[in-house]
Amino acid sequence: ETTPLITSPEPTVEGFVREYLRELNFSQGTILERATTNDQYLALARTVRHYLMSRWMQTTVSQYRSQAKAVAYLSAEYLLGRQLDNALIATGLEEVAAEALASLGLDLDELREVEVEPGLGNGGLGRLAACFVDSLATMSVPAIGYGIRYEYGIFRQRFDDGRQVEEPDNWLDNGAPWEFAHPEHEVAVGFGGRTETYTDDDGRERTRWLPGWQVLGVPYNYMVPGYRNGRVNTLRLWSARATHAFDLKIFNYGDYAEAVRSQTFAENISKVLYPEDSTPQGKELRLQQQYFFVACSIRDFIDQLLPPGFDLHDLPDRVVFQLNDTHPVIAVPELMRILVDERGFEWDDAWQVTQRCFAYTCHTLLPEALEVWPVELVGRLLPRHLEIVYRINDEFLAQVRERSGGDELLVRRMSIIAEHPERSVRMAYLATVGGSKVNGVAELHSQLLRDKVLADFAAFWPEKFTNVTNGVTPRRFVKLANPGLSGLITEAIGDGWVTDLDRLRELEPLADDAEFRRRFREVKAANKDRLVSFLAARDGIAIDPATMLDVMVKRLHEYKRQLLKLLHVVTLYDRITSGDLAAADVTPRTVVFGAKAAPGYVMAKEIIALINHVGAVVNAHPDVSRVLRVAFPANYNVTVAETLVPAADLSEQISLAGKEASGTGNMKFALNGALTIGTDDGANVEIRRLVGDENFFLFGLTEPEASAVAEAGYRPASYYEENVSLRRALDLIARGTFSGGDGSVFERVVSNLLSEDRFMVLADYQAYLDAQERVERAYADPDAWSRSAVLNVARSGFFSSDRSMRDYLDRVWHAAPLTAG
């Protein structure tokens, strides 16, 4: 039995006002007349929070009682975006809140702007996790997200002379109204030390781990509201604290100040999100973060979410731990350790349970992005886990040997332990061996995983491999980000689409309705106006809403090929300034870039500087700037995306085929009625198939073609030699046109393109220019363009993350959503 729940405040204007003033007085300790904007925001956040509270408690209690099989999503990143807007959407309180605040002389829109978004992720993978927990709650799936409460999220980006400068993201500084700390549920996590064998009371040989030091994990809970379905799931993020024992031991040495100082050693574990997202550096602290959150999470699930005395042999009936990339894969030996060392399981029984409890999602195709940890490091930090990994590997390789008739080459290829260049643990292999399913994140990606990256494993266990194409939440990325389009859609087909995005299909006939297209264009224009004000206020950037808005926003990576977009810009500049092209013949466009570079990724940072320098020259040129402008707002994040995506006409998805696992930005743009110019890569393949060839601008090498070119020996300089406009564009950069006449400034970028060009920018240059000409011709006919745009919206319902969740439930988790909240 539990205590009766406090009822929610009245969902009326009067009820909201009362609750708001109470919060302002009792929690903020201030009065309306003296409250700062931040006070006002915090009181508002807490007020909205109160409307979710009883549903949250209800969800938690009924989940515990029913013990229905749950999904535990393990992710080192959650790129959540602002919480207030989402909570208002989920509760349907937006109008009530706006009116209530207005009656007090306050402006809801002004207060929304106060919130600093929790940027606890790098990019696609972290945002995907946030979309997934949203969908799971909305679909009433019993689920919990586990991760790390970084004190500093993804760095804030600023430009100094066009070059990226990183600043700390102190997102917690002004108060954190959305989190609930539970120090009473702290969990101890061991590190280091040694293992020993002993004989237990039953005379069995057993092993135990004697850690050398410990830290505590303190859980912070966040509400994950379902969309108007009365369910509120939990996201539980762990924060590291020094142990009490740790304090005492050092304090007893008598050096108080030093003892306090050294506490920060343990607390460093959750201090900061690593900003690299493709080349893991074997940083010890990163492995500490990974083990820390995973150990806390498994312990928490077993101790807090299962009934006392639960028989862990039945664990696979109660939970599936989904591994978001390799970052949480140390969970596999951790569960084995708990079962074998702590619970006295036989190895084989433990292994059966473990394999059935885990499933692994891979998010990459770049070999350098696959995590490996040096055996030396794992052995020092997690000696028992290393022993367990070795045994898992021994038994697995014995199986490989047996089934392959002793193919030692195969055995070496499939070993979880790599021998070169240094002995290390291949985390993707450990995940593949340790779980029941492996999935890629788009059809092409899953196919390439089977054919290339994990080919030996796919041959060994064909049924283990599956695909789940990514998705995005229509709540945040349509309903919240694009109220204009949402209103138009709802007026036409009702509001069921918000939780059943396939219903957008019903818009298809309206693509042929001139009045609907006109209204669609009106919405797009209003979204552009909104973007204009946003960029003017935030960055002092002036853009012309009457131009085509051509947008490329994503992390900066050579494989994503921001340089290809930039070469197009430089070529337009060249053609206009040289008189080859009359400005009057150019479709006026604004090219918007948004991208952060990993702080240690030198080439990516050079590319950012080059974009900014080209932008400055283009924007300052009297003739060119009349038809072409470049805008590169600093610090692209979820909040910027919410204003930018709905305004876009053209979505740039131009990675080299076979390199982008899926992409999710591509889905957001299509759903908001932008047309895509893109390669045959990642989820672009599926977008094009669904929206139709005539509503998508395809260009470039296919994956098999790119592989064949690489195989045959790619020579980028030959494209430079043979293509005049390419040569002219590169020469302009090389001669210092965009760097005050100093050609040496961007020498690295140019010479890399000419000599190596790993991602075949030069090979795809001409095809890209040709595709851009097709774009211009299409854009010249606004009616035909908006018809295509409407069809993009109508046919993109598949890309809802609700559908992704259904696919995971069917193909991976074998769990059904609850019918009632």
- Token pair of 547 as six digits: 């131009």
Pairing of the two strands 417-418 and 437-440:
unpaired
In angstroms, give the least distance from the CB of 38 to ligand 26Y.
32
Within a 10 A sphere around the Cβ of 4, how many other Cβ atoms?
A: 7
Q: Are 592 and 552 in contact (CB under 8 A)?
A: yes
Q: Which is nearer to ligand 26Y, 464 or 554 (CB)?
A: 554
Residue 796 tokens read as 């993109």
- Active-site residue (options: 327, 437, 476, 554): 554
CA gap 53, 555 in Å, rounded = 36
Closest distance to ligand 26Y from the beta carbon of 122 (Å): 5
**668 part of the active site:** yes
Smallest separation, CB 126 to ligand 26Y (Å): 7
Identity of the residue, 94 or 276, whose beta carbon is nearer to ligand 26Y in the bound complex: 276
Question: Minimum CB separation from ligand 26Y for residue 76, in Å?
Answer: 7
User: Which range of residues in 215-223, 234-242, 364-372, 739-747 is near ligand 26Y by CB under 6 A?
Assistant: 364-372
Count CA within 13 A, CB hemisphere, residue 140.
14
Minimum CB separation of residue 544 from ligand 26Y in Å reads: 31
Q: Of the two residues 122 and 486, which places its CB atom closer to ligand 26Y in the complex?
A: 122
355 binds ligand 26Y, rule: CB under 6 A: no
User: Is 445:666 a contact under the CB 8 Å cutoff?
Assistant: no
Does residue 119 bind ligand 26Y (CB under 6 A)?
A: no
Pick the catalytic residue from 555, 613, 787, 803.
Answer: 555
Between residues 117 and 277, which has the closer beta carbon with respect to ligand 26Y? Answer: 277
Q: What is the rounded CA–CA span in Å between residue 252 and residue 564?
A: 62
Note if 555 is an active site residue: yes
Q: Considering beta carbons, is residue 527 or 664 the nearer one to ligand 26Y?
A: 664
CB of 662 closer than 8 Å to CB of 655: no
Q: Angle at Cα 156 formed by Cα 181 and Cα 216, nearest 5°? A: 30
What's the closest the beta carbon of residue 662 comes to ligand 26Y, in angstroms? Answer: 4
- 650-653 vs 548-553, strand pairing mode: parallel
Identify which of residues 280 and 333 has a Cβ nearer to ligand 26Y in the complex: 280
Q: What is the DSSP string of 477-514?
A: IIIIT-HHHHHHHHHHH-SGGGT-GGGGGGGGGGGG-H
Residue range at the interface with ligand 26Y (CB under 6 A); choices 120-128, 142-150, 217-225, 631-639: 120-128
Cβ atoms of 470 and 441 within 8 Å: the answer is yes
- Out of 81, 118, 119, 123, point to the residue binding ligand 26Y (CB under 6 A): 123
Residues 664-703 that bind ligand 26Y (CB under 6 A): 664, 682
Told to check if 371 binds ligand 26Y by CB under 6 A, we report yes
Q: Among 127, 668, 787, 806, which one carries the catalytic annotation?
A: 668
Please list, in sequence order, all residues whose beta carbon lies within 8 angstroms of the beta carbon of residue 28, skipping any fewer than 6 positions away. 35, 39, 42, 43
Choosing from 560, 629, 659, 806, the catalytic residue is: 560
Query: CB of residue 804 vs ligand 26Y: minimum separation in angstroms?
Result: 10
Q: Is 363 a catalytic residue?
A: yes
- Specify whether the CB–CB gap between 131 and 286 falls below 8 A: no
5 contact partners, CB below 8 Å, separation of at least 6: 54, 57, 58
Site for ligand 26Y in 430-449 (CB under 6 A): 441
Tell me which stretch binds ligand 26Y (CB under 6 A): 159-167, 339-347, 656-664, 807-815.
656-664
Catalytic residue, chosen from 49, 149, 363, 385, is: 363
Among 149, 337, 363, 668, binds ligand 26Y (CB under 6 A): 363
End-to-end alpha carbon distance in the chain: 19
Cβ at position 336, least distance to ligand 26Y in Å? 23
Of 63, 436, 470, 643, the one binding ligand 26Y by CB under 6 A: 470
Token pair of 496, please? 């069921």
Q: Label each residue of 137-174 as H, E or C.
A: HHCCCCEEEEEECCCECCCEEEEECCEEEEECCCCCCC
Query: Which residue's beta carbon is nearest to the bound ligand 26Y?
Result: 124
Q: Catalytic pick from 138, 587, 664, 679?
A: 664
The residues in 269-288 that bind ligand 26Y, with binding defined as CB under 6 A, are: 276-278, 280
Task: Report how far residue 104's alpha carbon sits from residue 25's, in angstroms, rounded to the nearest whole number.
Answer: 14
Q: Of 606, 607, 583, which is closest to residue 593 (Cα–Cα)? A: 607
Residue 308 in 3-state DSSP? Answer: coil
Catalytic residues: 363, 554-555, 560, 664, 668
Binding site for ligand 26Y (CB under 6 A): 122-125, 128, 276-278, 280, 363-364, 369, 371, 441, 470, 660-664, 682
